[in-house]
Chains A and B, each alone.
Chain A
């Protein structure tokens, strides 16, 4: 399969802040590619470079064979984008927003109406087409933006945190639509998320943290890279238990939320040995198939938490303040 997105040593600096630090990856055509990482990891910056809103400091990026820096207009006509923040005109109706998009992307006049209506039907918004967008709920707005992204039949659809701030019902509704895009519309979906359950659906993932890609592969590959199932332990004295486990079993447990954890092949067979090594100190023990969350935990030593959105906002503020000064 040919790569529809190719990124080579991409770096983006905002003054003293390095948002993206020499990343390289490829995305295969007609797949769902997920960019997984905490807020402030550099996901949005990468998207902004790929969709030609920002120039990279160094490195190169190609979409549909076109260079994002030198051939930006061709890149722009190959892609559709749903940004993290709404980019709808709230004073226009749903239909008008989509028709505007169709015209500005050069859809032929006779084609505008059928395409807009098709997209509205696909996203389940046809009966609200003449309502002003300001009367839409958050979930409907997001679906409308995805509908808009489909109008000009792009080769690649970028979704930046498409389900952020949506209630669970709207999220699953939107997901049902997104997973159909590669097969039914022949599109490649490039999405960022910090929801692990959404990352599970992707064909391929790149885990990004601090502007660097720290792991890449399919969700299964990433989980297999943990080297088996994960044992979680609560003990009376974690520090002592850690030392005992290292000595007896030769494993190096991590610690998170008062629990020790380590992955091992055939972990279930290790349970008696763990109990023997720690005897009375064990308060509880559980065994778990590795999740993407465990992968992330192992790679970065921390979890992606919703609270981190706070920290991300401050980074954004910092960037904004920096831009204002320059």
Chain B
């Protein structure tokens, strides 16, 4: 019971701070929209719509994935802030299981990311994507799963760093490569062999792919720009890797000297 309370209060804290910091909210929504409209519009001229869809529509699931990636990782590595400003100690000396702290933090990232992904999702009519109500709901459910997975991954990363100076390292060597190797900007099957392997090791790849499976409709789905894996495989990888990250993160948290 204590642990349920703990998870609840950790999530509420994150949500409260998220809604209080307007600039974070605005910039987290603005980033994906800038990518979608500026990069998407520019690339549309270069990439021929050979698969029957404009490039802006192709990257739409990827942009949702990007929204989730950034906000989940940002939310999780706020643990490094908490470490630096001492608040983490307050949580660590509380009589709750380490795994509850990890799950609380992961759900914080999940809630915040899914809210943002849902807002970005609402621009679909503007770029000419047609989605049924069912597709919208399914997209939100998948966003929840992907956000949970990436948030857990972020916590594993956060346990390795002591100070916020490491932020640019995480940004340049983890977030950006994860984004570019996720199939968000180009289908994984078109990548050179070595990068394709890296892509397949990236948990976000399966998240973006699951979103493609949901957003793209029938004739496009099997085309060259369509998803790389089956929907079932995507879900399996997302769920299994989430479980793995929870276990790893709890283990790293438990570690005392």
Contact = CB atoms under 8 A, between A and B. Distances in A.
Interface string B5-26: 1101110010011001100000
Nearest to A96: B16
Contact of B256 (A54, A91, A99): A54
Contacts of A86: 85-86
A104 B17 contact: no
A52 B93 CA distance: 7
Interface in B121-162: 162
A105 B16 contact: no
A102 B109 CA distance: 22
Interface string A92-106: 100010011101111
B89 A76 contact: no
Given A53-B89, A91-B20, A92-B16, A103 B9 contact: yes
B96 interface: yes
Contact of A89 (B8, B21, B87, B256): B87
Contact of A100 (B2, B13, B20, B162): B13
A44 B220 CA distance: 63
The interface size bin for chain B is 20 to 34
A323 B6 CA distance: 29
A52 B89 CA distance: 11
B168 interface: no
B5 A104 contact: yes
Contacts of B94: 76, 101, 104-105
B5 A53 contact: no
Contacts of B93: 51-53, 76, 79, 81
A14 interface: yes
A81 B92 CA distance: 11
Contacts of B194: none
A87 B87 contact: yes
B89 A103 contact: no
Contacts of A103: 5-6, 8-9
Nearest to A105: B94
A77 interface: yes
B13 A54 contact: no
B46 interface: no
A211 to B, nearest CB: 16
Contacts of A163: none
Interface string B54-95: 000000000000000000000000000000011111111111
Q: By CB atoms of chain A within 10 A, which of B10, B17, B86, B96 has the most?
A: B86
Contact count band on A: 20 to 34
Given A53-B92, A103-B6, A83 B256 contact: no
B256 A104 contact: no
B95 A106 contact: yes
Interface in A300-326: 320, 323-324
B233 to A, nearest CB: 38
A14 B257 CA distance: 8
B193 interface: no
Given A51-B93, A323-B257, A104 B6 contact: yes
B96 A104 contact: yes
A14 B162 CA distance: 17
Contacts of B91: 104
A87 B89 contact: yes
A73 interface: yes
Contacts of A87: 85-90
B86 to A, nearest CB: 4
A324 B162 contact: yes
Given A54-B257, A86-B85, A76 B90 contact: no
A85 interface: yes
Interface string A64-85: 0000000001101101010101
B169 interface: no
Contacts of A100: 9, 13
Contacts of A104: 2, 5-6, 9-10, 91, 94, 96
A90 to B, nearest CB: 7
Nearest to A107: B5
A142 B89 CA distance: 15
A81 to B, nearest CB: 6
Nearest to A91: B17
Nearest to B97: A73
B240 interface: no
B97 to A, nearest CB: 8
B95 A73 contact: yes
Contacts of B20: 91
A100 B96 CA distance: 13
The 8 A-B pairs of least Cβ separation, nearest first, read A77-B95, A106-B2, A103-B9, A87-B86, A76-B95, A87-B90, A104-B94, A104-B6
9 contacts: A52-B93, A53-B256, A55-B256, A77-B95, A87-B89, A88-B90, A103-B5, A104-B9, A104-B10
Given A77-B95, A96-B13, A323-B257, 17 more contacts: A54-B257, A73-B95, A74-B95, A76-B94, A83-B86, A83-B89, A85-B86, A88-B90, A89-B13, A91-B17, A92-B17, A101-B90, A103-B5, A104-B10, A104-B91, A104-B96, A105-B95
Interface of A: 14, 51-55, 73-74, 76-77, 79, 81, 83, 85-92, 96, 99-101, 103-106, 148, 320, 323-324
